[in-house]
A and B are shown apart, each in its own frame.
Chain A
Amino acid sequence: MFRGIATGSPSIRDSDPETYHRQPLSARDPGAVARRARIGCAMSQGSALLQLSGLKKSFPDPDGGRKLIIDIPEFSLAMGEQAALRGESGSGKTTFLNLISGILAPDSGSIRIDGSDMAGLGEHRRDRLRGSSIGYIFQTFNLLQGYSCLENVLLGMTFGARADRDQALALLARVGLSHRLNHFPRQLSSGQQQRVAVARALAKRPKLVLADEPTGNLDHKNAREALRLVRETCLETGAALLLVSHDPEVLGSFQNVRDFADLNLALKETAT
Chain B
Amino acid sequence: MLNTQRWRPVVGVAVLTSALCATAGFAQPLVNPQAAALADFSKRVPAYFDLTKKAAEGLPALKRTDDPAEISSREVALGDAIRAGRAGARPGDILTRDVARVFRKIIKKDFRQRSRGGQKVMRDDIPHFRPKVNQTYPSAWPLATFPATLLAALPVLPVGLEYRLLSDALILRDVRANIIVDFILDVF
A joins B in a complex = no
Q: Which residues of B contact A (CB under 8 A)?
A: none
Q: Which residues of A contact B (CB under 8 A)?
A: none
